[in-house]
Amino acid sequence: MKKKAILPSCYLPPVMYLSIMKMYDKVVVDVYEHYIKQTYRNRCNIVSSLGVQPLTVPVEKPAGSNAMKDMRISEHGNWRHLHLNAIDSAYGNSPFHEYYKDDFLPFYENRYENLVEYNTLLLEKVCELMDIPFNIEFSSSFIDPRLCSDFDDYRPFMTSKKADFDMPELIVPKTYYQVFSGRHGFLGNMSCIDLLFNMGPESCLVV
């Protein structure tokens, strides 16, 4: 394992994202990569009473750019209200929802324009609550995977289409308590808020 890792900017990223942050001395987020639809860059998965529920932040591409750093958050569909209601519904009975829910309210009550900024501020808050060092740096240009032999590149794994058995063994998530595990079994690599609301201060022991 190398000492440096590359990750994309992600919305309330999956548990494996935090595991990678803990494993490496240096983590570089490539903000110049092309935005990729239907990935964790603007989507997270939570666990509701019906199973996995995706939450997607609508985005708008500026003219002439597909870079993540330029992706704008759209106000289409009242998504903030929908996300907050979905999170409250999914985790209202979890052990630590009441303890942490107010920490996330500002992110759904205030408007943010830039997707990377929004993702970063949410990640900083999650790391603070889990007591995980925020060891993120941002790229100054696109990091070509063919030219980054000194990095471990995890960008291809940040999509919900990757099954656990496709991932490097080091980032396959550990099991932990989930509110609906009796109904659905354990569902791995859900959003970091699934871990936080279910495990609270012990979250850092899971990642």
pLDDT digits (tens, 9 = 90+) for 31-48: 999 999 989 999 999 999
State yes or no: pLDDT of 163 exceeds 60.
no
Containing structural domain, residue 142: 4-206
- 46 strand-pairing partners: 53
State yes or no: pLDDT of 150 exceeds 90.
no
- Is pTM beyond 0.85? Reply is yes
- 107 strand-pairing partners: none
Instruction: Pick the range with the lowest mean pLDDT from 72-81, 128-137, 168-177.
Output: 168-177
Whether 90 and 45 have beta carbons less than 8 Å apart is answered as: no
Res 149: pLDDT: 81
Res 3: pLDDT: 81
Q: What percent of the chain stands above pLDDT 90?
A: 75
- 52 strand-pairing partners: 47
Residue 178 to residues 9, 20, 41, 51, 136, Cα–Cα distance (Å): 26, 22, 24, 11, 28
**What does the alpha-carbon distance between residue 157 and residue 160 come to, in Å, rounded to a whole number?**
8
Instruction: Pick the range with the lowest mean pLDDT from 6-10, 75-79, 99-103, 189-193.
Output: 75-79
Domain count, the chain: 1
State yes or no: pLDDT of 172 exceeds 90.
no
Question: Which residues does 63 contact at the CB level (< 8 Å), separation at least 6?
Answer: none
State yes or no: pLDDT of 1 exceeds 60.
no
- DSSP letter at 184 equals H
State yes or no: pLDDT of 62 exceeds 90.
no
Q: How confident is the model at residue 164 (pLDDT cuts 50, 70, 90)?
A: low
